Amino acid sequence: MANAQDLAVREKKELVTKEEKTVPGRYYVPYADIFETDDALTVVMEVPGVEKKNLDVSLENYVLRIDGKIDFAKYDGMEPLYTEYNIGHYTRSFTVSNKVDQEHISAQLDDGVLTLTLPKAKEAQPRRIAIG
């Protein structure tokens, strides 16, 4: 399993939706790792170029939605000579079950990696049953 995830150059996944956005521009789907432990569900997403102030995480109707905008004004005055990848805003949504304690979701953004911790509601945590 480790070999399948070795470093390789991949094209960014472009977002394809039925509805268009009013402002033109390509949106990309950030790569995410999702794993679950006994007390929380964690989503780790790569959103390079997104600053804290341009990141929007919301949970509504059991849909967790992440929107990260990049600041392309930094490219002002720069002329491209050679490119291997494209840049754009990021967006991705996941449906979460009612096992998630929606009040205590926490988000951390470091070096372009967003870590979202969704703690499981108390009722959903595994309970050890003592054998009498």
Partner 1 sequence: MALFPDPFDTLLNLQQALDSFRSSNWLGSGPSGGGAYPPMNVFHRGDDFIIITELPGLKKSDLDVQVKGNSVRVAGTKGVSFPDKAAVHRRERLAGRFDRAVTLPVQIDPNGVKAEYRDGILALFLPRAEQDKPRSIQVA
Site for partner 1 in 92-131 (CB under 8 A): 110-113
CA distance 64 to 131: 38
| Structure tokens, 6 | 């070795």
| Contact of 95 with 62, CB cutoff 8 Å | yes
79 contacts partner 1 (rule: CB under 8 A) = yes
The rounded Cα 37 to chain-centroid distance in angstroms is 18
| Structure tokens, 88 | 């754009």
Region of 46-54, 59-67, 98-106, 122-130 interacting with partner 1 (CB under 8 A)? 46-54
Instruction: Sort strands 27-29 and 40-46 into parallel, antiparallel or unpaired.
Output: unpaired
CA distance 91 to 66: 6
Q: Which of 84, 95, 127, 129 binds partner 1 (CB under 8 A)?
A: 84
At closest approach, how far in Å is the CB of 107 from partner 1?
15
- Which is nearer to partner 1, 85 or 132 (by Cβ)? 85
82 contacts partner 1 (rule: CB under 8 A) = yes
Binding mask 7-26 for partner 1 (x = CB under 8 A): xxxx------------xxxx
63 contacts partner 1 (rule: CB under 8 A) = no
Which among 25, 128, 112 is positioned nearest to 68, based on CA atoms?
Answer: 112
At closest approach, how far in Å is the CB of 15 from partner 1?
13
CA distance 52 to 119: 22
Give me the residues that bind partner 1 (CB under 8 A), please: 1, 5-10, 23-26, 31-38, 42, 44, 46-51, 72, 75, 77-89, 110-113
